[in-house]
Structure 1
Amino acid sequence: MAGAHRQTLTSLHDVELAAQAATGERRAFGELVRRHGSGVRGLLRRMGVSAAEADDVAQDAFLTAFERIAEFRGEGTFAAWVKRIAARAYLRRLQKERRVQSFAEEAQDAPDAAAVDPAGRIDLDEALKSLGAAERLCVSLCYGAGLSHAEAAESLNLPLGTVKSHVKRGLDKLRARLAPADVLEEGRRENG
């Protein structure tokens, strides 16, 4: 019987699972965790969180999501909703550790985007590691967790313009790092 119930859960849409979870169906919420756990941990890792801390923050985020599941209305995806919860949970941890103030200082010391891999084999996670902490966090919040610039600024307790600058610089560095070598060479010829 449990196998048949599991098959039923796997065939349900996230909104249906969330509705069941809101009525106390723990297995439905377990299916949501199974579907989206690695995505939440992946976002946190891209934000610069260690593997062990990403597991802890993801667990906290899913506990919060379970407690607040009735608030999920299906207006966006469940994945985006729980990723926002995880990003905010991580930001609260940062604020408690008083590390948020050091982001501006670290951004000034950040290395420039590294040279493009000659074989063209580079992945986003590696490229994100080349960003300064502030740039990585702002880009991850705005593009990985789906927060607006204003929401990221509020969460980080930074001015909106500072967040926008970090995002712009971070995206410029990522574009330069991830661009195919032939595109970079063509750009150099046009500008040089």
Structure 2
Amino acid sequence: MTAFALAPPRPATYFPYDPTPLGEQDTATLVRAAQTGDRDAFGELAVRFEPMVRAVATRRLGNPSEAAELTQEVLLRAMDRLHQLTQPQAFGGWLKSITVRMAINRQTRRRRAIDAEPRTLEETCVDNASPFEAAVANERAAQVRDGLDRLGAMDRDTLVAFYVRGESLIEMSDAFRAPVGTIKRRLHVARKRLAAELGEMVSV
């Protein structure tokens, strides 16, 4: 019995930080635990603050699905940089500032992508004339369809997605699983090839 009486209490062994259930611990305690590598503590922080992050992201971006994606990115960034937080009690404000900054960065990238999108085919094809508009004006719609059919699958799908379905570069990036820069290059190449095809067909 004496040996048992001298044994250290189990809580000291199994609860090195705080025996209080995670759901009842305050934010600062959870932050300090997470900073030592306690993933369960960070998981509790994520559960508590995810609604706030999502609300800020939605308000900034105006797109629920994009905000949901950003929310996950913010939480991952916070977990990666939690060691930089010197005031655990300020976690909420720190997390909000990360959300706002990342939302602004995303908006900036989105504006740049939109600004870089050619609005119409006439801005980028030979002689600044749109093959589609020229075909309609000259009753050559069939030639345009034939020209598209003569293109490779990637060129054709890229032009149809952008000019026929009206997809943005960002949407195409998701659909084609390729960076926006790659999509822009594909559009540029596909437009030149279509213009060349229409030029050959007209000269026949």
Bin for the TM-score computed over the shorter chain: 0.3 to 0.5
Select the structure that is richer in helix.
2
Structure-1-length-normalised TM-score: 0.46
Structure-2-length-normalised TM-score: 0.43
Which of structures 1 and 2 has the bigger CA Rg?
A: 2
